[in-house]
DNA sequence: AAATATTTTTAGACTAATCTAAAAATATAT
DNA sequence: ATATATTTTTAGATTAGTCTAAAAATATTT
């Protein structure tokens, strides 16, 4: 039997290894899980014994194929619940993450497959992230970060990196949502801020915003 | 913060005290929770410290008003999720209990109030049990158990005591569901079995079935 | 290549929830 | 009313997950 804590570590390792390097180091996991390195060492030993991870002392950790399967399944559940919360229960996109963190651990294949069908097999969650299907397959959308977009080009907003309530509320208040059309007007070399044009307005966003907003060229 | 285990003990104590006596004894809780009496003693001490229960050594336990509030809220969540599973996700009434046991512990007022609204404020769950409203009020239906029904009278099936999959499947296979009209034909004194008439059939049910089926006179 | 800094692991302790076995309290029977 | 049985509590141990502090390994700097 896999515990809730094990699931959360597996998910954290998956996310850390999908943005970048393949082996994940102890401190990175500790900071993602808001815990101490010594606790992480204990847990990755356990994950290794249970065959969810490959681990050699001092060398970092990678997920086994079984570990990846578990991670993707949790992500599938998380994102399906997020769609449910937004589309059926009137949650806004900045409110869903915390509740979905809990719902994602409910163990019932029938529950999640029926939920998938009830929602008509959505392929993206409310933040633009792809939802794995029952077999764990999901599309990798070709997206770039606003910080690397080119001046003069027009893009569609397709996702966010940071899903914190703060960031999402900032986007709401500036009328940026999934699907919003954005034209890059000017990049300011001094502070890396970017001037963008929306449908009815022009705004300047800071570098930290520009690094967390995903776009697709149109 | 209240833990999942504390919630489950509180729920068990609530159910044990609502069918009958007001103070609940240690062994009864142990058997309901499938654990040992010594574990129960430890937990009721803790519940008592946290003001969810009143407890004097060797004298059994009762819930405080705060304990009751917690219990009723868990029951509300459990039953609302059961309605959701049956009405929206194609679960049958014998499949819902186990999943609802987990969903009932998700902590989000918005989640449960929006779910309530989404389901159009149902007042009974799929087993005929009343669903408490946001303030914790629920109707107590006047019901009797089939074992105590009178020969010659006609009743409507309004609920079950045992919600195990086995029992519910038995009822399904004999075409008994909530709302089914039942006339009591004969009580057999030898084994306390009862012959009942349904719409298109007459069947004999055992005493253990008769004790778990709730009826309302019509 | 030594010295220093950083990262990771180990050792030992803590908490929540559980267990077994024994002791204490209460209830029942003769 | 005493003996016996049952129930409940205590004492001490166990497991999962965490922590602190120290030790060991690795990485970086000079």
Determine the pLDDT at residue B22.
81
Determine the pLDDT at residue A140.
84
Range A69-91 average pLDDT? 98
Q: What is the 3-state secondary structure (H, E, C) of chain A?
A: CCCHHHHHHHHHHHHHHHCCCCCECHHHHHHHHCCCHHHHHHHHHHHHHCCCEEECCCCCEEECHHHHHHHHHHHHHHHHHHHHHHHCCCCCCCCHHHHHHHHCCCCCHHHHHHHHHHCCCCCECCCCCECCCCCCCCCCCCCEEHHHCCCCCEEEEEEECCCCHHHHHHHHHCCCCCCCEEEEEEEECCCCEEEEECCCCEEEECHHHHCCEEEEEC
CA distance B14 to B10: 6
What the block records as the tokens of A196 is 């963008």
Is residue B10's pLDDT more than 80? yes
Interface test with A, best of B3, B92, B110 (most A CBs within 10 A): B110
Determine the pLDDT at residue A141.
80
Query: A204: domain CATH number?
Result: 2.30.30.90
**pLDDT tens column, A120-152:** 999 999 999 999 999 999 988 889 999 999 999
Note the CA–C1' distance, A49 to C10, in angstroms.
Answer: 18
Asked if residue A83 belongs to a domain, the reply is no
Which residue range is the domain that position A14 belongs to?
4-63
Bases in strand C with any atom closer than 7 Å to a protein CB: 7-12, 16-22, 25-26
Asked if residue A95 belongs to a domain, the reply is no
**pLDDT tens column, B95-136:** 999 999 999 999 999 999 999 999 999 999 999 999 999 999
Residues 103-132 of A with CB under 8 A from B: 103, 106-108, 110-111, 114-115, 118
Note the CA–C1' distance, B138 to C30, in angstroms.
Answer: 50
Handedness of CA B102, A109, B93, B169 (dihedral sign): negative
Torsion, Cα B117 B119 B125 B129, to 10 degrees, reads 30
A68 min Cα distance to partner chain B (Å): 24
Asked if residue A136 belongs to a domain, the reply is no
Residue A107: list chain B partners with CB under 8 A: 102
Asked if residue B14 belongs to a domain, the reply is yes
Could you tell me which residues come within 8 angstroms of residue B28 by beta carbon, excluding any fewer than 6 positions away? B16
Asked if residue B196 belongs to a domain, the reply is yes
Please indicate if any CB of chain B lies within 8 Å of the CB of A83.
Answer: no
Q: Are B14 and B68 in contact (CB under 8 A)?
A: yes
User: Around B9, how many Cα atoms within 13 Å sit in the side-chain half-sphere?
Assistant: 29
B72 min Cα distance to partner chain A (Å): 21
Mean pLDDT across chain B: 95
Asked if residue A93 belongs to a domain, the reply is no
Domain limit, last residue, from A40, A63, A86? A63
- Other CB atoms within a 10 A radius of the CB of residue A59 amount to 10
Query: B50: domain CATH number?
Result: 1.10.10.10
C1'-nearest nucleotide to the CA of A33? D18
Could you tell me which residues come within 8 angstroms of residue A59 by beta carbon, excluding any fewer than 6 positions away? A23
Note the CA–C1' distance, B82 to C9, in angstroms.
Answer: 47
Asked if residue B188 belongs to a domain, the reply is yes
CA distance A41 to B24: 44
Asked if residue A128 belongs to a domain, the reply is no
Strand D–CB B190 distance below 7 A: no
Give chain A residues 113-172 with Cβ within 7 A of strand D. none
Domain total in chain A: 2
CA distance A39 to A43: 6
Domain limit, last residue, from B63, B82, B111? B63
Domain limit, last residue, from B44, B63, B82? B63
Determine the pLDDT at residue B20.
63
User: Around A211, how many Cα atoms within 13 Å sit in the side-chain half-sphere?
Assistant: 5
Reported confidence tier of residue B21, pLDDT bands at 50, 70, 90: low
Q: Which helix (H) or strand (E) holds B35?
A: none
CA A171 to chain centre: 17
CA distance B134 to B161: 24
């Amino acid at each position: 039997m896999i515990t809730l804590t094990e699931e959360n570590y597996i998910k954290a390792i998956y996310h850390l290894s999908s943005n970048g390097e393949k082996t994940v180091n102890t401190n990175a996991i500790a900071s993602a899980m808001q815990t101490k390195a010594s606790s992480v060492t204990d847990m990755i030993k356990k994950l290794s014994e249970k065959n969810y991870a490959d681990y050699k002392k001092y060398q970092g950790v990678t997920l086994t194929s079984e570990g990846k399967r578990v991670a993707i399944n949790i992500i599938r559940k998380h994102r399906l619940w997020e769609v449910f919360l937004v589309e059926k229960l009137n949650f806004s996109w900045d409110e869903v993450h915390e509740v979905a963190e809990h719902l994602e651990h409910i163990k019932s294949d029938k529950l999640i497959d029926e939920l998938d069908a009830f929602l008509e097999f959505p392929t993206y969650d409310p933040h633009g992230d792809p939802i794995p299907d029952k077999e764990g397959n999901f599309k990798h959308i070709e997206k770039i970060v606003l910080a690397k977009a080119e001046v003069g080009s027009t893009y569609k907003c397709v996702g966010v990196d940071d899903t914190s309530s703060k960031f999402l509320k900032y986007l709401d208040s500036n009328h940026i949502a999934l699907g919003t059309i954005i034209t890059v007007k000017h990049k300011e070399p001094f502070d890396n801020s970017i001037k963008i044009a929306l449908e009815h307005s022009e705004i300047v966003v800071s570098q930290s915003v520009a690094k967390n907003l995903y776009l697709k060229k149109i």
